Amino acid sequence: MFQRIVNALAEAIEEGRLRPGQTLPTHRALASALGVDLTTVTRAYAEARRQGLTDATVGRGTFVKTQPASGLRASAMPGIDLSMNLPPQPADADLDGRLARALADVRAETGLAPYLTYQQPGGTGTERKAAAEWLGGMVPDLAAGLTPDRLILSPGTQPALFALLLAHAVPGDTILTEKLTYPGFKAAAAALGVVLVGVEMDGEGMIPAALDRATRGGAAKIVYLTPTMQNPTTATMSAERRERIATVVRKRGLVLIEDDPYTFLAPGLPPVASFVPERSYFLASLSKAIAPGLRTSLVVTPDAAATARCAALLRAVVQMSSPLMAAIAAKWMRDGTASDLIDAVRVEAAARQTLARNALQGHDAAAHPAALHVWLGLPDRWPAPRFVAHLGGRGLAVVTADAFATDAAPPNAIRLALGAARSQAQLARALAILKDALGSPDAASQIV
């Protein structure tokens, strides 16, 4: 962690986000902001000073060195963070330019002041209509019966998941999910006091027969799953598997929460919700397909009453979406920009998967051609915690399986978020570090 702080400082100085002479936060303030202990920040600041990045003066504090040492990045660690699953940003997509033009268009149409006041939770009627029409075109199997009163806009998927748990669960309830599942859902469940029970998976994700067995006894009433490029395993359900899961949902009277943030990147498969719409919530996100900062997720509900209830709970959780972001998202859905950007991200994701596939030949890597991540099983000589610490010492951050596990026996594996690298060149450097580390012996095993 201390080295990641040093890497971030070096990168910010190199890119001009931190200026020569600029005062840095106090040790205690930075530790509090990052949620780390004070000694970690103290060690990071000492290392940054040793590398010639900063200076410190008693009474004045720590500040960026006025004349940083030459060859700054050569002496610093690579500082590549592949821990956060982000959509890659292809340069030719011109996201910055598109966003600037969208803001100008919104300002020209209505001015910006109307977007600085309260709006109704779940999106305006106009925004819901635009979203319903666009989503029906992107996911045709949902189009039948998809009306604006069955759809809400949420400021990201996380508050929508929280609202759905509030709507359908009480503390102590059991929720079924994949054996390895999204950490955000784990956090929401823990906050609300509900119990997650992992269901066995195979190469396509959750196994229908295992789901059926897990429902016996009637303790569980909700199932949560990600059927497309599952996070973290990348498992993708076939259409036949999805229909079989839906059959169990209907047979056992379950409520289905289908979180499908990657559906736009791998089109053509019917949502599980399309087979059992009366018992399902389908969530699709622009955060994973375009950019997290859009904070726009689309939630399809079973009916208008469920929409109203979910919107009311969203109000209780987050009040409303950012009106300006919702307006931009709706505009992009209407004028084709959203689809164009998703196409560009899909192409970039495929190129990065090719880099990963070439670098990881011969290793236990699971992937999907359009996925934003790779699931990598580690050799026995490299326990995941030690391997991640080893990578951290070389400036590379990844996530271990325990972040996703629903029980105390996670597999010996890591997730690589390919989209988090700023460029294909940076990703190639990260993969070279990873490949070299996989081929080296566990350093701890060599200590006599």
Domain 2-75 indexed as CATH 3.40.50.1110: no
Give one DSSP letter per residue of 257-276, joined into a string.
EEE-TTGGGSTTSPPGGGTS
Average pLDDT over residues 314-341: 93
CATH topology of domain 117-335: Aspartate Aminotransferase; domain 2 (3.40.640)
Q: What is the pLDDT of residue 70?
A: 39
Separation CA 8–CA 36 (nearest Å): 15
- pLDDT exceeds cutoff 50 at 127: yes
Residue limits of CATH 1.10.10.10 in the chain? 2-75
Q: What is the pLDDT of residue 67?
A: 56
Q: What is the pLDDT of residue 160?
A: 96
Tokens (6 digits) for 429: 């450097």
Q: Are 252 and 303 a contacting pair, CB within 8 Å?
A: no
Q: What is the pLDDT of residue 75?
A: 34
- pLDDT exceeds cutoff 90 at 427: yes
Candidate from 96-100, 348-352, 371-375, 441-445 with smallest mean pLDDT: 441-445
Q: CA geometry: angle at 209 spanning 205 and 210, to 5°?
A: 65
Mean pLDDT over each residue of the chain, to the nearest integer: 90
Candidate from 13-27, 148-162, 195-209, 316-330 with smallest mean pLDDT: 13-27
- pLDDT exceeds cutoff 80 at 345: yes
Q: Are 151 and 128 a contacting pair, CB within 8 Å?
A: yes
Q: What is the pLDDT of residue 444?
A: 47
Q: Which of 296, 231, 285 is nearest to 263 (CA)?
A: 285
Q: What is the pLDDT of residue 329?
A: 94
Q: What is the pLDDT of residue 321?
A: 87
Residue limits of CATH 3.40.640.10 in the chain? 117-335
Q: Which of 273, 288, 282, 283 is nearest to 338 (CA)?
A: 288
- pLDDT exceeds cutoff 70 at 273: yes
pLDDT single digits (tens) 349-375: 999 999 999 999 999 999 999 999 999
Higher per-residue pLDDT: 281 or 34: 281
Q: In the structure, what pLDDT confidence band is assigned to residue 77 with cuts at 50, 70 and 90?
A: very low
Q: What are phi and psi of 394, to 5 degrees?
A: -105, 10
Tokens (6 digits) for 200: 């066995």
Q: In the structure, what pLDDT confidence band is assigned to residue 198 with cuts at 50, 70 and 90?
A: very high
Using DSSP's 3-state secondary structure scheme, residue 257 falls into strand
Average pLDDT over residues 211-228: 94
Bridge partner list, 300: 151, 282
Separation CA 387–CA 443 (nearest Å): 9
- 80-93+340-446: CATH homologous superfamily? Aspartate Aminotransferase, domain 1 (3.90.1150.10)
Residue limits of CATH 3.90.1150.10 in the chain? 80-93+340-446
Per cent of the chain over pLDDT 90 is 70
